[in-house]
Structure 1
Amino acid sequence: MSDQAAESTGSFRIPATQDEPAGNGKSDKPKSFWRELPILIIIALALTFLLQTFIARVYLIPSESMEPTLHGCAGCTGDRIVVEKISYRFGDPKAGDVVVFLGPDSWNGAYVSIRSHNPAIRALQNAGAFIGIVPPDENDLVKRVIATGGQTVECCDEQGRILVDGKPLDEPYVKTDFPFIPGQQDCKTESKSPRCFPAVTVPAGRLWVMGDNRNNSADSRFHSCVIHPELPRCDKDAADYMGDAEATGTVPIGNVRGKAVFVVLPPSRMGVIHSPDIQAN
């Protein structure tokens, strides 16, 4: 009986080597962090590239043209804004949208490259811009869409408001503008208000854009030969201006980088960027 019990007990004994891995009998060591780090970096850069190319990108506001909606005043901390790129893959910008766009050729006279003169550093900067960790070397601007292709924009009505197709716009975001005093300084008096400009019809596929800081914004008004025939590039007869889309001061829709939707920095100004329906009237 004792021999039989011992034999039975032994049949349930687990060999000591059963929990050990096959092979040399030694457990594998965890992979080194330093061997995995390059792979993690490549994945992170690839995700950054995809995110900023197809979904959204952060831009810095460099000027005062959109005050007070967006801060970029001299001596202050410029706003950093999120610009989403998905909406305009399925539709065009609408009046009231705040958009970031590449300045047309005629707008780029004062632009200065932000790249280093050192070829090696410049190559690194260009590589960083490709994956989205360095700003692109281009004249990216931010303004509000006022009118779209086929619409006629002008200023002003009796109250100093901009008209699109003869209807006044509702623009609650405009806090500073040129003076407009009916009967004393308007669009009909001898001392004309600087707000006033003649009718411009926006060519198809283009946008008329203006800064919210109306008396300090080099926008479609400034670049229009219809309004400023004295500009060096406006060397044609006034009758020819409207046949030249570039001369109208408008921006091609293809130049639009995306829609500004959120202020992310500084924390004190963090919030949504509103795009009201300004043509609702």
Structure 2
Amino acid sequence: MTDETQSTATTDDRGQQKPGRKRGVLLFLRDLLIIFIVAVLVSFLIKTFLIRSFFIPSQSMQQTLEIDDRIIVNELVPDVVPLERGDVVVFRDPGGWLPVREEPQQPPLVAAVDWFLAFVGLSAPDSNDHLVKRLIGLPGDHVVCCNALGQMSVNGVPLDEPYVALPPGDTRVSRDDFDVTVPEGSLWVMGDNRYNSKDSRYNGDTPLKGFVPVDNVVGRAFVVSWPLSRWAWLGNYPEVFAGVDEGSG
């Protein structure tokens, strides 16, 4: 009698353990799903409102940025943090700057993965629809090139630009002269690789005459994040533009 009772109890215990283990696994999977969803939402919010990644598709910002560099962009600029001369800015094509490009066809699975990575900010499939240049002129600025020393000036203040890449033997920071006043709500931007950059100087035949609306700015690039060998902060060289505000008008 005692042995039979013990056997029944053991069987009951085993029968109770199986649902317990199954419930534990389900709770674990539920927690993993919740963590995953929260992580995706947080990544989406960060990408949408704070920072996001872009890659560099051209040579126009060499040597500051090389082709295929990954950059992290502060999206609080310009809505929360004001733009400053010297900023490396990412902006949407104002119209006519980039050639018309057909979207490549991808297998459905690859397209779905790319969409998800872009959703959480780990991929930047729209990099080819954006441009990266250095901000030279703010609204109202008078930008002129070049003086007898080959320098550009903003509001009458000559600039000594250490970030500019020029061909050997050239001292002019622009192959072509220009004299512009930046309209209200617009920017004048130029690539650091001055002789190989289709920037504000060479988009005068577009609807906005080479100027970039402030509203088109996605943000300010502040770090090169990839490859690791190129990791670097991206400054805006305030010393270059020192005195420019005093020269306004």
Bin the TM-score by the shorter chain: 0.7 to 0.9
- Residue 25 and residue 217 in structure 1: after superposition, are their counterparts in 2 closer, same or farther (change >3 A)? closer
Instruction: Number of aligned residue pairs: give it.
Output: 223
Cα distance in 2 between the residues matched to 1:81 and 1:40:
27
2:55–2:124 contact (8 Å) kept in structure 1: no
Q: Which residue of 2 aligns with 1:168?
A: 158
Q: Which residue of 2 aligns with 1:80?
A: 70
Q: Which residue of 1 aligns with 2:218?
A: 257
Equivalent residues in 2 for 1:59-208, closer than 5 Å: 59-72=54-67, 78-108=68-98, 110-116=99-105, 125-126=114-115, 128-137=117-126, 139-177=129-167, 195-208=175-188
2:74–2:222 contact (8 Å) kept in structure 1: yes
1:147–1:153 contact (8 Å) kept in structure 2: yes
Q: Which residue of 1 aligns with 2:191?
A: 211
Determine what percentage of the aligned residue pairs are the same residue. 39
Shift of 1:134: 3.7
Cα distance in 2 between the residues matched to 1:47 and 1:123:
20
TM-score (norm 1): 0.69
2:53–2:122 contact (8 Å) kept in structure 1: no
Q: Which residue of 2 aligns with 1:238?
A: none
Shift of 1:82: 1.0
Cα distance in 1 between the residues matched to 2:107 and 2:121:
21
Cα distance in 1 between the residues matched to 2:85 and 2:18:
69
1:273 equivalenced with 2:229 (yes/no) = no
SS in structure 2 at match of 1:106: coil
Question: Which of the two has greater helix per residue?
Answer: 2
Q: Which has the larger radius of gyration?
A: 1
1:111–1:139 contact (8 Å) kept in structure 2: no
Shift of 1:152: 1.5
SS in structure 1 at match of 2:143: strand
1:224 equivalenced with 2:213 (yes/no) = no
- Residue 91 and residue 35 in structure 1: after superposition, are their counterparts in 2 closer, same or farther (change >3 A)? closer
Q: What letter is aligned with 2:203?
A: H
TM-score (norm 2): 0.78
SS in structure 2 at match of 1:71: coil
Q: What letter is aligned with 1:171?
A: E
SS in structure 2 at match of 1:88: coil
1:179–1:194 contact (8 Å) kept in structure 2: no
Equivalent residues in 2 for 1:224-243, closer than 5 Å: 224-225=204-205
Cα distance in 2 between the residues matched to 1:217 and 1:136:
22
Q: Which residue of 1 aligns with 2:43?
A: 48
1:101-127 deviations in whole A, cap 9, x for unaligned? 11111213x142445366786576556
Cα distance in 1 between the residues matched to 2:170 and 2:69:
30
1:178–1:215 contact (8 Å) kept in structure 2: no
